């Protein structure tokens, strides 16, 4: 029988103000900490973190994150960590700051703590880190060998970020179940160690991620748009961060991310967040796998309801050519691409045609919604009688 594997962080704590108690979670891990922190929070969050660590007997050494999780940035951070004799590395900020912290901890042989300041990525919980060039071009994935020891998610901090970050996180999280299913059907390994079959626990988490999004996604969008922290928002923060993170690492990704990666060859897509492009990739994946129109419409309606891209035009690709889409299909089939987990025989033309069809179906859905609204205006029950 095939061996199965499961992995995840040792502790996950979420709620408003949990960073106020950061020292409580760090003290059992080490007495000296290196903190990689986004520059945006240098003046506001750093003093609070330093004071709390000191109160719990932890020495702190801060490094202002440069903005790219590059080899040079990791090297600089590791040097700082050695000087500080850090036993734990804490990442505070977006996905790239957290990746830098995780990879640096690997080189230092230190424990890891992640403190995400946005909910647009599932990086905080995973054992993987991504290295980019100094110019921000993707280079490679680094397996850090272990998941973070502690993930602290301060929802009061996250709700202050523009709602677009939360929405992008929902786009990425929405792919979790669809791509997990691809891996089940193609019998692909997950990302635990060198790869194992998925456990029942991993599959259940991926499925639950989808259920939470469908139930609370739209309500969370409305609340977060105005900076309101409701139970629905808390649920979506958890789905974007914990459920999606555990789901993708324990089940694997496939065509939605494969299409995302290939679309980056087209310059207009560079102006969109990862989760926004993944959202469009989901529709392409469902077309590739010939899922039911009902399921495709469900995904389209959800994305359109929270302002995620669903058409080529939404991604600035209204003038994309047939030749360009075929090139995207060719790049998607790179031997290293995750798209090979899709349980169908793939060709560049099939991928290109599926991308075009996904956009056409989403455009049609938009038009139907617009017509429905127009017809509602003609319904006498909606008229206001003045007299």
- Enumerate the active-site residues: 172, 257, 260, 274
Secondary structure of the chain as H, E, C letters = CCCEECCCCCEEEEECCHHHHHHHHHCCCCCEEEEEEEHHHCCCCHHHHHHHHHHCCCEEEEEEECCCCCHHHHHHHHHHHHHHCCCEEEEEECHHHHHHHHHHHHHHCCEEEEEECCCCCCHHHCCEEEEECCCCCEEEEEECCCCCCEEEEEHHHHCCCCHHHHHHHHHHHHHHHHHHHHHHHHCCCCCCCCCCEECHHHHHHHHHHHHHHHHHHHHHHHHHHCCCCCHHHHHHHHHHHHHHHHHHHHHCCCHHHHHHHHHCCCHHHHHCCHHHHHHHHHHHHHHHCCCCHHHHHHHHHHHHHCCCCCCCHHHCCCCCCHHHHHHHHHHHCCCCCHHHHCCCCCCHHHHHHHHHHHHHHHHHHHHHHHHHHHHHHCCHHHCCCCC
Distance between CA atoms of residues 55 and 265, nearest Å: 49
């Amino acid at each position: 029988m095939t061996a199965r594997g499961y992995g995840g962080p040792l502790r996950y704590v979420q709620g408003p103000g949990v960073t106020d108690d950061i020292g409580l979670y760090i003290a059992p891990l080490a007495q000296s900490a290196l903190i990689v922190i986004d520059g945006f929070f240098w003046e506001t969050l750093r003093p609070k973190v330093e004071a709390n660590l000191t109160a719990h007997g932890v020495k702190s050494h801060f490094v202002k994150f440069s903005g790219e999780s590059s080899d040079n940035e990791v090297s600089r951070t590791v040097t700082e960590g050695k000087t500080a004799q850090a036993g734990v590395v804490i990442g505070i900020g977006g996905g790239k700051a957290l990746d830098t912290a995780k990879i640096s901890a690997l080189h230092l042989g230190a424990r890891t703590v992640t403190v995400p300041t946005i909910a647009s990525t599932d990086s905080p919980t995973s054992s993987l880190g991504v290295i980019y060039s100094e110019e921000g071009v993707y280079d490679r994935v680094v397996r850090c060998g272990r998941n973070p020891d502690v993930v602290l998610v301060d929802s009061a901090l996250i709700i202050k970020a523009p709602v677009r970050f939360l929405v992008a996180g929902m786009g990425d999280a929405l792919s979790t179940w669809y791509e997990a299913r691809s891996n089940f059907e193609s019998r692909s390994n997950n990302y635990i160690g060198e790869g194992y079959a998925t456990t029942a626990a991993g599959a259940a988490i991926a499925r639950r991620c989808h259920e939470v999004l469908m139930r609370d996604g739209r309500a969370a969008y409305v609340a977060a748009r105005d900076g309101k922290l409701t139970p629905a928002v808390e649920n979506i923060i958890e789905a974007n961060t914990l459920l999606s993170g555990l789901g993708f690492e324990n089940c694997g990704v496939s065509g939605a991310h494969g299409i995302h990666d290939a679309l980056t060859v087209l310059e207009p897509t560079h102006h969109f967040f990862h989760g926004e492009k993944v959202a469009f990739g989901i529709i392409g994946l469902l077309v590739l796998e010939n899922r039911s129109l009902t399921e495709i419409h469900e995904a389209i309606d959800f994305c359109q309801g929270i302002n995620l891209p669903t058409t080529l035009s939404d991604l600035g690709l209204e003038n994309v050519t047939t030749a360009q889409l075929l090139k995207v299909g060719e790049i998607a089939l790179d031997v290293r691409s995750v798209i090979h987990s899709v349980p169908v025989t793939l060709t560049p033309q099939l991928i290109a045609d599926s991308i075009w069809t996904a956009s056409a179906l989403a455009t049609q859905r938009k038009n139907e919604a617009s017509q429905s609204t127009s017809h509602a205006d003609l319904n006498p029950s909606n008229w206001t009688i003045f007299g």
